[in-house]
Structure 1
Amino acid sequence: MSLTPPSRQHRPVRVNHHDPAQRPMIVIWESTRACQLSCRHCRAEAAPGRNPFELTTDEATKLMEEVLSFGQPAPIFIISGGDCFERDDLFEIASRGVQMGLHVAVSPSGTKKLNLDSLKKLQDVGVNVISLSLDGATKESHDGFRRVPGTFENTMAGWEAARELGMKVQLNSVVARHNVMELPDIAKLVLDHGVMTWSGFLLVPTGRGVDLGALTALECEDVLNLFYDMGETVPVKTTEGHHFRRVSIQRHVLEQAGADHVEAMKLGPLYQELRKKTEALGLIEGGRRRRPPINISSGNGFVFINHVGQVTPSGFLDVPAGNVRDSSIVDIYRNSELFNGIRRADLLEGKCGMCEYKTVCGGSRSRAYNSTGNIYAEEPLCAYQPGTFPLADRVTELFQAPGQ
Structure 2
Amino acid sequence: MHSSSNRPSHGGGHPHENHERDRSDSAGAHPHARDYSKTPLVVTWEVTQACELACDHCRASAKPERHPEELSLDEATELFRQVATFDPQPFFVFTGGDPLQRPDVFDLLERAVDVGVTPSITPATTPQLDRQAIERFADIGVNRMALSLDGATAESHDQFRGESGTFETAIEAAEHAADLGLSIQINTTVTASTVDELPAIADRVEDLGAAMWEVFFLVPLGRGAALEQITPGRAREVMEWLYRRGTDAPFRIITVEAPFYRRVARELQSEAGSSAGAVGTTGAGNGFVFVSHTGEVYPSGFLPESAGNVRETPLPELYRNDGLMEQLRARESFDGPCGDCVVTAECGGSRSRAFAATGTPTGSDPLCPWATEEG
CA contact (8 A) 1:356 1:387 kept: no
For 1:51, the aligned partner's letter is: H
Deviates more, 1:226-235 or 1:239-248: 226-235
- Which residue in 1 is equivalent to 2:68? 52
Q: 1:298 to 1:228 in 2, by over 3 A?
A: same
CA contact (8 A) 1:13 1:248 kept: no
1:68 aligns with 2:84: yes
1:340 aligns with 2:326: yes
Q: 1:385 to 1:41 in 2, by over 3 A?
A: closer
Q: Distance in 2 between matches of 1:338 and 1:369?
A: 13
- Which residue in 1 is equivalent to 2:113? 98
Q: 1:186 aligns with which of 189, 195, 201?
A: 201
1:295 aligns with 2:311: no
Q: Using structure 2 for the length normalisation, give the TM-score.
A: 0.89
Look up the SS of the partner of 1:231 in the other structure: helix
**Offset at 1:192?**
1.4
Task: Name stretches of at least 5 consecutive residues in structure 2 with no aligned partner.
Answer: 1-21
1:214 aligns with 2:200: no
- Which residue in 1 is equivalent to 2:339? 353
Look up the SS of the partner of 2:226 in the other structure: coil
- Which residue in 2 is equivalent to 1:38? 54
CA RMSD of aligned residues (A): 2.1
Cα-to-partner distance string for 1:63-113 (whole Å, 9 max, x where unaligned):
111111122x31111110000001111111111111211121111001111
- Which residue in 1 is equivalent to 2:94? 79
Q: Distance in 1 between matches of 2:28 and 2:197?
A: 27
CA contact (8 A) 2:27 2:346 kept: no
Q: 1:243 aligns with which of 229, 236, 260?
A: 260
Task: Name stretches of at least 5 consecutive residues in structure 1 with no aligned partner.
Answer: 1-6, 258-289, 389-404
Q: 1:202 aligns with which of 206, 210, 217?
A: 217
Q: 1:35 to 1:167 in 2, by over 3 A?
A: same
How many pairs align?
Answer: 350
**Offset at 1:50?**
0.6
CA contact (8 A) 2:27 2:345 kept: no
Q: 1:338 to 1:45 in 2, by over 3 A?
A: same
CA contact (8 A) 1:231 1:291 kept: no
Q: 2:42 aligns with which of 22, 26, 47?
A: 26
For 2:304, the aligned partner's letter is: D
Q: Distance in 2 between matches of 1:142 and 1:14?
A: 38
For 1:241, the aligned partner's letter is: A
**Offset at 1:293?**
2.6
Q: Using structure 1 for the length normalisation, give the TM-score.
A: 0.83
Q: 2:176 aligns with which of 137, 161, 165?
A: 161
For 1:380, the aligned partner's letter is: P
Q: 2:128 aligns with which of 107, 113, 118?
A: 113
Look up the SS of the partner of 2:55 in the other structure: coil
Q: Distance in 2 between matches of 1:118 and 1:310?
A: 28
Q: Distance in 2 between matches of 1:166 and 1:291?
A: 31
CA contact (8 A) 2:125 2:170 kept: yes
CA contact (8 A) 2:266 2:277 kept: no
**Offset at 1:15?**
3.1
Look up the SS of the partner of 2:273 in the other structure: helix
CA contact (8 A) 1:356 1:386 kept: no
CA contact (8 A) 2:296 2:310 kept: yes
CA contact (8 A) 1:12 1:293 kept: no
CA contact (8 A) 2:23 2:278 kept: no
**Offset at 1:384?**
1.4
Deviates more, 1:110-119 or 1:308-317: 110-119
Look up the SS of the partner of 1:210 in the other structure: helix
Q: Distance in 1 between matches of 2:47 and 2:312?
A: 18
Deviates more, 1:154-163 or 1:229-238: 229-238
Q: 1:300 to 1:154 in 2, by over 3 A?
A: same
Counterparts of residues 212-361 of structure 1 (less than 5 Å):
212-234=227-249, 235-256=252-273, 293-361=279-347
Q: Distance in 1 between matches of 2:28 and 2:79?
A: 31
Q: 1:365 aligns with which of 309, 329, 351?
A: 351
Higher-Rg structure is 1
Q: Distance in 2 between matches of 1:111 and 1:364?
A: 30
For 1:15, the aligned partner's letter is: H
- Which residue in 1 is equivalent to 2:103? 88
